[in-house]
Homo-oligomer: A and B are copies of this chain.
Amino acid sequence: MGSRPLDVPTSPRALDYPAGVSTQNLTDAAPAEQTHWVLTLSCPDGPGIVHAVAGLLAEHGGNITESQQFGDPETQLFFMRVQALSTASREELVAAIEPVAARFSMTWNLDVVGRRMRTLVLVSKAAHCLNDLLFRERAGDLPVDVVAVAGNHTDLAPLAAFYGKGFHHVPVTKETKAAAEAQLLDLVTRMDIELVVLARYMQVLSDDMCRELEGRVINIHHSFLPSFKGAKPYHQAHDRGVKLIGATSHYVTGDLDEGPIIEQDVERVDHSHSTDRLVALGQDVERRVLGRAVRWHSEHRVLRNGHRTVIFR
């Protein structure tokens, strides 16, 4: 069958017991509670898609609260994200979606709006991205549930502890890299991790690991105009006298730093900024850009379009 769950499959356990929603109640005789659903899908473009999707939602009493579509004239692919309130159960909705998805060869995903995505954050020594993510999670500003933090160094264990997060020390050397990745993948499986955030994790993931977690790993790195290859990019940027420094957040694929871009931003700098100051300003952009990418991903606002993304903000 052509129909399969969209890029980022959420784990069964996570979806069976969505945050704050008791699916049992939905079939009770008592006045049914409404669940706020979010459905994302992509498929080859053609007439009737929106009608079919809106139809199945209407049949289940679904009141659409937010919806966006995009047809890519180049790839001839169609993308849709729709939020709807409905008293239907997950099973009822899935049963209604499946034939439509089969008919249009859809890749799709169904989730509950605001359900916090089970997230593992990988770090090394730099604290700025981890601090930002954990603060935003606690502030209720980011729909993620950071289940654990893992680092190849222990520098950030106290920060994780302050936010009540378990910290896993997984050191990596050339010799232990395969074992370390196996350990990380084991964490992902055991903890039903849906999203892995590389929060300035200074290790390159192997091609195997990239494939294994395809579409579920978000990275952040600095970016410049023009871009600089090789080591010490901020030194190069300083040397070149750039007037802007930036950051790019993207999905990790086997192609290092070249996965589908989710978000980018820049900060203005000038001749008086030392390389150290460039790094500090770069960190501000990095955490800002990563925060947005994680939000949009966890709200199912990012759809893959080949090696590009469609962002339904």
Whether A50 sits at the interface, judged by CB under 8 Å, is yes
B contact residues around A242 at 8 Å (CB): 261, 264
Q: SS class of chain A's interface: helix, strand, loop or mixed?
A: mixed
Known contacts A51-B55, A66-B272, A241-B261: A131-B141 contact under CB 8 Å: no
**Contact indicator B271/A244 (Cβ below 8 Å):** no
B contact residues around A270 at 8 Å (CB): 311, 313
Which of A131, A260, A265, A271 has the most C-beta atoms of chain B within 10 angstroms of its own C-beta? A271
Q: Identify the 8 closest CB pairs spanning chains A and B, nearest first.
A: A241-B308, A51-B54, A223-B225, A226-B227, A50-B54, A67-B69, A243-B264, A51-B58
- Which residue of chain B is the closest to A261 with respect to CB atoms? B241
B contact residues around A224 at 8 Å (CB): 225
Interface residues, chain A, CB within 8 Å of chain B?
45-51, 54-55, 57-58, 61-73, 82, 127-128, 131, 135, 139, 141, 162, 223-227, 239-244, 246, 248, 260-266, 270-272, 274, 280, 283-284, 288, 305, 307-311, 313
List, sorted by A's number, 10 A–B pairs whose CB atoms are closer than 8 Å.
Answer: A46-B63, A50-B64, A68-B68, A131-B135, A226-B248, A239-B308, A241-B261, A243-B261, A243-B311, A271-B305
In the assembled complex, the Cα of A311 lies from the Cα of B270 at a distance in Å of: 8
Copies of this chain, tallied across the complex: 4
**Contact indicator B271/A310 (Cβ below 8 Å):** yes
Given contacts A48-B54, A50-B67, A66-B272, 9 further A-B contacts (CB under 8 A): A50-B82, A68-B68, A128-B135, A226-B227, A240-B307, A241-B305, A241-B308, A244-B266, A271-B308
In the assembled complex, the Cα of A240 lies from the Cα of B270 at a distance in Å of: 26
In the assembled complex, the Cα of A179 lies from the Cα of B272 at a distance in Å of: 43
Known contacts A225-B224, A226-B227, A271-B310: A47-B71 contact under CB 8 Å: no
Known contacts A70-B272, A223-B226: A309-B58 contact under CB 8 Å: no
- Which residue of chain B is the closest to A260 with respect to CB atoms? B241
B contact residues around A50 at 8 Å (CB): 50, 54, 64, 67, 82
In the assembled complex, the Cα of A40 lies from the Cα of B297 at a distance in Å of: 29
In the assembled complex, the Cα of A310 lies from the Cα of B305 at a distance in Å of: 27
**Contact indicator A64/B55 (Cβ below 8 Å):** no
In the assembled complex, the Cα of A69 lies from the Cα of B58 at a distance in Å of: 15
**Contact indicator A69/B68 (Cβ below 8 Å):** yes
**Contact indicator A265/B241 (Cβ below 8 Å):** no
The residue from B51, B57, B162, B226 contacting A162, defined by CB atoms under 8 A apart:
B162
Which of A58, A260, A264, A288 has the most C-beta atoms of chain B within 10 angstroms of its own C-beta? A264
**Contact indicator A47/B66 (Cβ below 8 Å):** no
A55 to chain B, nearest CB (A): 5
In the assembled complex, the Cα of A271 lies from the Cα of B68 at a distance in Å of: 13
In the assembled complex, the Cα of A204 lies from the Cα of B149 at a distance in Å of: 40
In the assembled complex, the Cα of A239 lies from the Cα of B307 at a distance in Å of: 8
